[in-house]
Amino acid sequence: RYFIDTAPPLGAPFNHRIVSAKPNQISNFYTISWQDILGGGRFGQVHKCVENSSGLTFAAKVIKVRSQKEKEMVKNEIQVMNNLDHANLIQLYAAYESRNDIILVLEYVSGGELFDRIIDENYTLMELDAVMFIRQICEGLQHMHKMYILHLDLKPENILCVSRVTNKIKIIDFGLARIYKPREKLRVNFGTPEFLAPEVINYDFASFNTDMWSLGVITYMLLSGLSPFLGDDDNETLNNILACQWNFEEQEFRDTSEEAKDFISRLLIINKSWRMSASEALRHPWLSSTGLHHRLHSKKTMCRSRQSSCVLVPNS
């Protein structure tokens, strides 16, 4: 079988193609498969779609806009994506505006959400795979942060695998992303609280290292299948985060390398200025030491023991 990883770039280099929401009819250019739903989210659904002129597949994110404020939020998402041209960040190709919705035409990837791989009992995740995944997330974050953009909604469902056969990933969903402003406070995202950084819960200043906290949570989950702060209810989860209550005591971490544990320990820190930045994370031995990677490869270190059927449950 032949896999197309990503849609080829359209003519001009991406950074010359600034997208704005056009009031044109999208159906003149793309055919949306309304029955082909790739995912759903906060404001609408994502469908497969095909560009009429080229036959190439894209993803159409249909966002319902019921107020001027919602429209401004989607325009912010477009503006952020216009500034991001990187292999590990999903690319925006076009946007169409109608009375009730705005449709973003995105690069399509077919490998599904990263965390479907973790909970897939038929797929053995090795620690070296986790290294590959986290390194790419760091590279995407490093680029975003260099462009002064915070993602602020990094979580497993917002990381997609490019295909089933490669370990390539892309960060998606820039719906909450914003340009960094030093003194700006952020409202809590009323979604799942498991991934919220303490400063977001405390309605304190968010910064680049707010994304690095989320990276720590994702790394912990990749390596163990466990959610580090998840409690019996949202309140307990939020309290666990604020108390920074987490550990490596579960048996899922039995075979985990010390480097991996050190990596997480340098991210899940209450004080955000003590956390590693994306560039520092890329230089950390867990991501950069070829000696370690050879050792992980030859020892065939798995992310969690396969006997364990307990995945994504509280660890306390």
Buried residues in 23-56 as b, exposed as e (16+ CB within 10 A): eeebeeebebeeeeebeeeebbebbbbbbeeeeb
**With the C-alpha atoms ordered 113, 119, 125, 130, is the resulting torsion angle positive or negative?**
positive
- Between CA 106 and CA 28, with CA 7 as vertex, the angle to 5 degrees is 60
| 43 contact, one of ligand ADP, Mg ion, none, CB 5-8 Å limit per kind | ligand ADP
**With the C-alpha atoms ordered 285, 118, 221, 301, is the resulting torsion angle positive or negative?**
negative
Interface with Mg ion: number of residues (CB under 5 A): 3
Least distance CB 206 / Mg ion (angstroms): 18
Q: Is 101 a catalytic residue?
A: no
| 170 carries a ligand binding annotation | no
| 303 contact, one of ligand ADP, Mg ion, none, CB 5-8 Å limit per kind | none
Least distance CB 230 / Mg ion (angstroms): 18
| 61 contact, one of ligand ADP, Mg ion, none, CB 5-8 Å limit per kind | ligand ADP
- 227, 312 in Cβ contact below 8 A? yes
- 124, 297 in Cβ contact below 8 A? no
| 106 contact, one of ligand ADP, Mg ion, none, CB 5-8 Å limit per kind | ligand ADP
Nearer to Mg ion, 158 or 224 (CB): 158
Buried residues in 185-219 as b, exposed as e (16+ CB within 10 A): ebeebeeebbbbbbbbeeeeebbbbbbbbbbbbbb
Token pair for 82: 């216009």
Q: Does 214 bind Mg ion (CB under 5 A)?
A: no
Instruction: Fill in the DSSP letter of residue 261.
Output: H
Least distance CB 295 / ligand ADP (angstroms): 34
Nearer to ligand ADP, 107 or 211 (CB): 107
Close Cβ partners of 19 (under 8 Å, ≥ 6 residues apart) = 78, 81, 82, 92, 93, 94, 95
| 96 contact, one of ligand ADP, Mg ion, none, CB 5-8 Å limit per kind | none
Least distance CB 104 / ligand ADP (angstroms): 8
Q: What span, in angstroms and rounded, lies between the C-alpha atoms of 208 and 229?
A: 21
Question: Exactly one of 77, 173, 199, 259 binds Mg ion (CB under 5 A); which one?
Answer: 173
**With the C-alpha atoms ordered 4, 111, 299, 257, is the resulting torsion angle positive or negative?**
positive
- Contact residues toward ligand ADP (CB under 6 A) are 38-39, 41-43, 46, 59, 61, 90, 106-109, 113, 157-158, 160, 172-173, 175
Nearer to ligand ADP, 134 or 152 (CB): 152
Count the residues in the chain: 316
- 80, 179 in Cβ contact below 8 A? yes
Q: Give the x-and-dash track for 119-158 against Mg ion (CB under 5 A).
A: ---------------------------------------x
Nearer to Mg ion, 88 or 158 (CB): 158
Q: Which of 101, 120, 153, 204 is catalytic?
A: 153
Segment near Mg ion (CB under 5 A); pick from 36-44, 50-58, 128-136, 246-254: 36-44
Q: Which segments are annotated as binding site for ATP?
A: 61
Residues designated catalytic: 153
